[in-house]
Amino acid sequence: MTATIPTTDAAQAIARLHTVLFIDGQWRPAASGATFTVENPATGAPLTVVADGSADDARLALAAAAAHQADWAATSPRSRSEILYRAYQIIMDRVDEIAAVMTAEMGKPLAEAKGEVAYGAEFFRWFAEEAVRIGGDHTVTGDGNNRVVVSKQPVGPCILITPWNFPLAMGTRKIGPAVAAGCTMVFKPAELTPLTALLLTDILREAGLPDGVLNVVTTTDPGAVVGEWMTSGDARKVSFTGSTEVGKILLGQAAGTVMRTSMELGGNAPFIVCADADVDRAIDGVMVAKMRNMGQACTAANRIFVHRDVLDAFTDKLSARMGGLVVGDGAADGTQVGPLVEQKATDKVTTLVDDALERGARIVCGGERPDGPGHFYPPTVLTDVDPAADLMHTEIFGPVAAIIPFGTAGGDAKSDDDEVLRLANDTPWGLVGYLYTQDIDRADRLSTDLQVGMVGVNTGLVSNPAAPFGGIKQSGLGREGGRLGIEEFLDIKYVSRPIAR
């Protein structure tokens, strides 16, 4: 691993941060005075302490959001747009600072953190443009007697819950459309990575977001905080990114008040390399799809299906690329793979790899955790993975590439396609899939028949603020980003009146 260097920029940025709750425009400690420690996953060293909110704080935060909803909804679309655009500009002016904080609390290499900052900022720019394009409709009923005017209005106070793996982008992807639509918010960032969210909150305040529009409660007791919001009756929408298990709990709670929901849940992405694929291009794609964020992404290639005609070439090239990656502290020069976010994450990956090996898989590279501090796991390639292995049915969330051969060498293409579709779709999740082929007809058929909400054809990256991100089956409900992203935060109303004769 590369040597750790002092994260001076991060330390200075964290020292300047407000590490308390943000309610009704005021930074304030938790009502109980409780705090929790945020650690650097590369070293295990504490970074700072953050206010540990409770149900009492949650109640105050939602009361503030509800009290300001009517005034915020009445603001002009242009004014909301300008706030988002100013926030976008501030983020882009402070890329290095934000990336340093993100790397310190989450672990990803600085270069990747800077990429997330640019990606996350783009949601604010996109929804700044969408804020002034909220449309409606006008029509006359078929009998000619009534005029119908359809309008869209903000759904009301929203609950936003974000994960730790993309601590800036998951916040901007939810806050951007809520601000653009005219919704107030209560926001609970992940307890492992609250610092980037708090920095983002201060940026929005600096950009001119009015008091009470965004209210932030950091906590180690999400059940109590979010439960208070979900059962209050004041919140009218919940937007959650996280595990399917937690998503199901929230869906059950949302039913109590018939709340609007957006759920971006787990994934089990297939990555299909057909016999006619450009292997070098597929290797480039799988490195992105597998290794982005050290594999800690719901879009990560979880099951890599490779046709037997190209299996050896693909495996050799992938193991060479994976084995050559530099592992170390994300703040160190040259690091390409940082630590996983916590000890529990490395333990999970270890257990999944051990299970696959017991079922006959072979390690081509990696597979052994290094000694020393930090939650590191080496880039690992497994081949001959049994479809019954646990990692085929569980998100790996780590830098492990599991290769599963399919097809018959020199066999029938249609039969091979049917086989890989059956394997790829054999999962309750359906977020994203990837496929590599040089046959346009095969690309059309496979992308149509893959049971997912998004498909990357000859690309390992599908996420873009201009696209409607989301899945099907147990991977979620609703879409984030694109033109559909703002619709999730709008109610539809029509007014009908007789036509005067």
pLDDT digits (tens, 9 = 90+) for 302-341: 999 999 999 999 999 999 999 999 999 999 999 999 999 9
Local confidence band at 3 (pLDDT 50, 70, 90 cut-offs):
very low
What mean pLDDT is reported for the chain? 96
CB 310 within 8 A of CB 316: no
Only one residue has tokens 């799809």, namely 289
Instruction: Please state, in angstroms and rounded to a whole number, the distance separating the CA atoms of residues 472 and 264.
Output: 9
pLDDT in tens, 24-70: 999 999 999 999 999 999 999 999 999 999 999 999 999 999 999 99
Catalytic entry in 158, 183, 274, 298: 298
Query: What DSSP line would sit under 287-353, residue for residue?
Result: HHHHHGGGG-STTSEEEEEEETTTHHHHHHHHHHHHHTPPBB-TTSTT--B---SSHHHHHHHHHHH
Local confidence band at 501 (pLDDT 50, 70, 90 cut-offs):
confident
The predicted structure's pLDDT at residue 413: 87
Whether the per-residue pLDDT at 2 is higher than 50: the answer is: no
Which comes out higher in pLDDT, residue 217 or 410?
Answer: 217
Dihedral angle sign, alpha carbons of residues 379, 385, 390, 392: positive
Which comes out higher in pLDDT, residue 116 or 4?
Answer: 116
The predicted structure's pLDDT at residue 299: 97
Rounded to an integer, the average pLDDT of 350-362 is: 97
Q: Tell me the whole-structure pTM to 2 decimals.
A: 0.96
Local confidence band at 132 (pLDDT 50, 70, 90 cut-offs):
very high
The predicted structure's pLDDT at residue 56: 98
The predicted structure's pLDDT at residue 467: 97
Structure tokens at 261: 């929901």
Instruction: Please state, in angstroms and rounded to a whole number, the distance separating the CA atoms of residues 457 and 339.
Output: 30
Rg (C-alpha) for the chain, rounded Å, is: 24
CB 299 within 8 A of CB 269: yes
Query: How much of the chain, in percent, has pLDDT values that exceed 90?
Result: 96
SS3 153: strand
Amino acid 403 reads I
The predicted structure's pLDDT at residue 319: 97
Local confidence band at 409 (pLDDT 50, 70, 90 cut-offs):
confident
Task: Specify the DSSP class assigned to residue 478.
Answer: S
Instruction: Please state, in angstroms and rounded to a whole number, the distance separating the CA atoms of residues 285 and 274.
Output: 13
Catalytic entry in 112, 264, 480, 488: 264
CB 257 within 8 A of CB 275: no
First vs last Cα of the chain: how many Å apart?
81
Query: How much of the chain, in percent, has pLDDT values that exceed 70?
Result: 98
Instruction: Please state, in angstroms and rounded to a whole number, the distance separating the CA atoms of residues 159 and 226.
Output: 8
Q: Is 274 a catalytic residue?
A: no
Amino acid 495 reads V
The predicted structure's pLDDT at residue 195: 98
Local confidence band at 410 (pLDDT 50, 70, 90 cut-offs):
confident
Q: Is 264 a catalytic residue?
A: yes
The predicted structure's pLDDT at residue 439: 97
CB 12 within 8 A of CB 96: no
Q: Which residues contact 354 (CB under 8 A, 6 or more apart)?
A: none
pLDDT in tens, 151-173: 999 999 999 999 999 999 999 99
CB 297 within 8 A of CB 463: no
DSSP percent split of the chain into helix, strand, coil, nearest 5: 40, 20, 35
